[in-house]
Amino acid sequence: MEFDFKKVSKVFKAFCDENRVKIINELMSGEKCGCDLLDKLNISQPTLSHHMKILCDSNMVDCYKKGKWTYYKISKEGVLYALEYINYINRFD
């Protein structure tokens, strides 16, 4: 199986920060507005934007704008891609 190494590295970069892992954990319960994430995490709005850009660029999180707010949810496609790669590297004994 062929993998796009640039894409794979973006996926795993998404998991390389404690705040991004916390964001993913928050999104496990469903779609959230950026304002909801700010209320749950002890970070500033610019910091949240930075982390959300990395998560969205990695395709681990989907987003859309509604009015002045941006809404986020876990990307099933992104999770499946990450799992495919994990399963690929796990095939070696």
1.10.10.10, 3.40.50.300, 3.20.20.70, 3.30.230.10: which CATH number matches 5-89?
A: 1.10.10.10
Nearest to 78 by CA among 2, 13, 1: 13
**Residue-wise pLDDT tens digits, 16-49:** 999 999 999 999 999 999 999 999 998 999 999 9
SS3 for 3? coil
Q: What is the pTM of this model?
A: 0.91
Could you tell me which residues come within 8 angstroms of residue 67 by beta carbon, excluding any fewer than 6 positions away? none
Nearest to 34 by CA among 77, 73, 78, 75: 73
Length of the chain: 93
